[in-house]
Structure 1
Amino acid sequence: MKNLSIKNVVKGLLDLQDKDESGTIIGIGPMSKNCVQAALEVSKEKDFPIMFIASRNQVDAEEFGGGYVNGWNQFTFVDAVKEVSDKIAYDNYYYMCRDHGGPWQRDKERNDHLEPEKAMTLGKKSYIADIEAGFSLLMIDPTKDPFEVGKVIPLETVIERTVELIEFCEEERKKRNLPEIGYEVGTEETNGGLTSTETYEKFILRLKEELETRNLPLPTFIVGQTGTLTRKTEQVGEFNFNNAKELAKMAKRYGVGLKEHNGDYLDDISLLEHIPSKITATNVAPQYGTEETRAYLKLAKLESRLFDNGLIESTSNIYNVLLDESIKSERWRKWMVGDQVEMTIEDVIKDKNLSNEVIDIAGHYTFNNEKVKKEIDHLYNNLNDNGIDGNRFVIDHIKRPIRDYAECYNLTGITTKIKNIQ
């Protein structure tokens, strides 16, 4: 994993764009160990590098309560990915990445309305754990300010905090004599202000000026708004080809790759447009959690049929437990629209259609709950007794959309192409 850095991957992709041979690499939200395995298997099969992008809510230091994904902290997350990699004899390149790192990026910090100094201190502590665990890419995102809700944070404030955090991370990395890491800056959030090409270039120029003054590295990626937006389990945005192309051209002018967020549930035409628009990377996260949830629910229906045919003594209670835990988690609120954001748990329970939407949206937030794990084990045992490998089905189910993206993003063989031009 050490002889092809994330910076060299991006440089290779930018060089390949000149030959019309490039692709758009994928940042995978690590929703579970099954998701990690699915991503690594497709990466190995199709010969392309892959990034695992963990938010602070998903994976974080023990002192902050870890993360909702398997209770992982940075070190156990790295260990888990390596374990899966070794198990499948993985032979390509994967990169451990921090998605939306920085102040107020844990829900609790934002809800507690921490003062900026305290929030920055906690964000820095989280970055130290990222660095010590060996992360390859850190996203510097100081735009989730609870005191500026609904407002565009002043660009100078974003730049000032971004530079402070990069400078801090570089000092901590050098203290530990660790290899260079990449940085991702900007945000897809509208309050980050990077929604127009003019503001985007102004941000790049001002950031470049401040970083060079301090002898700090330029970022590897700059996030830009390409029109994508994920709500519920749908892509409700509209991919803006011309805007994406302009942002990518602008980023490349400074040797940086354009990174797109909210790339879930895109249709094939929009996916294929990523190649001529020259987007360097896309993040996809909740879609894979939803795919895993749907896989369990399909297996639950199969299990019911096995029971009806007298092939098992009792069924698991996976559907009801997933439903109950999903609703109680209240994490579905983030993805809802309109008045549904404020609905009470009781209102959701009463509405059968809405309840099923909630399990689709928020099922993956509950995979680490003991009740859910117990029912998954029961489900797998029932299937195994009838010659069906339930876990294999779940992994393959998650692989489907990853494979679709990889094919549309021209990723087959991209690792070999990059290595050949290095």
Structure 2
Amino acid sequence: MDRTVTLLQHAESVRQAEKQPPVAYEVGTDQPRGGLASEERIRAFLRRLRSTLDAHNLPRPSFVVGDLGTTPDSGRFNADRARRLVTAASDEMNALMKGHYTDDVDTPSAYPLSGVGGANVGPGLSAVEARAVRDLEALEAQLGNDSGMIETLRAAVVESERWRKWLRPEEQGHAFENLPEDRQRWLINTGSRYVWTDSDVQEARARLYEHVAPYRDAEAYVLWRLKTAILHYMHAFNLVGLTDRLAAHLSDDGSP
């Protein structure tokens, strides 16, 4: 709670100093497995938060991130729990519930049907990018070249140690190379977002793109894969055309 207040105080001081419009904040917990799951827990959390924010004259959040039964490595979504948490967020904070770990959820269209107002997506898009790069490396191999892209990506992810955050309970304490092959691949794909800008990764990627250039526009291919993934969510959440609808309500300077 103290950290939430500290962050909000800093953000608000900067916003006001820069004379910027109000910000739609979100609150929640950053726990790979767990978090605000039960209705009782989320109501208690929001009551405490509401009281604390009001005491410090801070704005209430627009979104509350809750555990809707999703995890980083499964497609599950608990619609019944979602509806209960949606009601709790609305009752206690007049806020929208936002789903954590929406990447690879089997039924994203169930989010709006359950009243959920937002979804966190991120690691899955980097995984889409990694899978596209793997496909390009397969093409590269057919052409008789080797950029070392995936090995370089693997080494960078392992060295970053970020993969440890996503280990399952039974995997704790295991060396990366001792994990099952499918789990290693998943951890590399998911952890790729932390290392795309590493110099070694960028150099290997440049070699890969150069090797496949006579047969495929690598950059366009990766962007196409990412756009396809994003469109999947846009259709599921009924967001197609939203930008045009928002623009119709904004002035020339971007204000409402």
The TM-score bracket by the shorter chain reads: 0.7 to 0.9
1:418–1:247 distance in 2 versus 1, CA, 3 Å? farther
AA matched with 2:131 = R
Find the aligned partners of 1:182 and 1:282 in 2 and give their Cα distance: 14
Counterpart of 1:173 (choices 15, 23, 33) is 15
Higher strand share: 1
1:166–1:317 distance in 2 versus 1, CA, 3 Å? closer
Maintained 8 Å contact 2:63/2:97: yes
1:279 lines up with 2:110 in the alignment: no
- 2:24 corresponding residue in structure 1: 182
- 2:87 corresponding residue in structure 1: 249
Find the aligned partners of 1:161 and 1:356 in 2 and give their Cα distance: 34
SS at 2:127's partner residue?
helix
- 2:194 corresponding residue in structure 1: 365
Percent identity of paired positions between Structure 1 and Structure 2: 30
Maintained 8 Å contact 1:328/1:345: no
Maintained 8 Å contact 1:383/1:389: yes
- 2:208 corresponding residue in structure 1: 379
Maintained 8 Å contact 1:188/1:225: no
- Residue 295 of structure 1 and its aligned partner are, at CA, apart by 0.8
Maintained 8 Å contact 1:334/1:341: no
1:197–1:372 distance in 2 versus 1, CA, 3 Å? same
SS at 1:301's partner residue?
helix
- Residue 315 of structure 1 and its aligned partner are, at CA, apart by 3.2
RMSD value, Cα: 2.8
Cα deviation, 1:287-341, whole Å, max 9, x if unaligned, reads: 111111111111111112223xxxxxx4322233223333333322222223433
1:178–1:339 distance in 2 versus 1, CA, 3 Å? same
Aligned length: 249
AA matched with 1:257 = L
SS at 1:259's partner residue?
strand
- Residue 346 of structure 1 and its aligned partner are, at CA, apart by 5.5
The unaligned stretches of length 5 or more in structure 1 are 1-157, 308-313
Counterpart of 2:78 (choices 208, 233, 240) is 240
- 1:259 corresponding residue in structure 2: 98
Maintained 8 Å contact 2:35/2:67: no
Maintained 8 Å contact 1:265/1:287: yes
Find the aligned partners of 1:360 and 1:344 in 2 and give their Cα distance: 17
- Describe how 1:269-308 pairs up with structure 2 within 5 A: 270-307=107-144
- Residue 168 of structure 1 and its aligned partner are, at CA, apart by 3.9
Q: Which moved more, 1:356-365 or 1:371-380?
A: 356-365
Find the aligned partners of 1:399 and 1:217 in 2 and give their Cα distance: 34
Cα deviation, 1:7-54, whole Å, max 9, x if unaligned, reads: xxxxxxxxxxxxxxxxxxxxxxxxxxxxxxxxxxxxxxxxxxxxxxxx
- 1:208 corresponding residue in structure 2: 50
SS at 2:136's partner residue?
helix
- 2:252 corresponding residue in structure 1: none
Maintained 8 Å contact 1:193/1:199: no
Q: TM-score, normalised by structure 1?
A: 0.53
- Residue 402 of structure 1 and its aligned partner are, at CA, apart by 1.4
Of the two structures, which has the highest relative contact order with CA contacts closer than 8 Å and spacing of 6 or more? 1
The unaligned stretches of length 5 or more in structure 2 are 250-255
- Residue 413 of structure 1 and its aligned partner are, at CA, apart by 2.1
AA matched with 1:198 = E
AA matched with 2:61 = P
Find the aligned partners of 2:183 and 2:11 in 1 and give their Cα distance: 43
SS at 1:284's partner residue?
coil
- Residue 282 of structure 1 and its aligned partner are, at CA, apart by 0.4
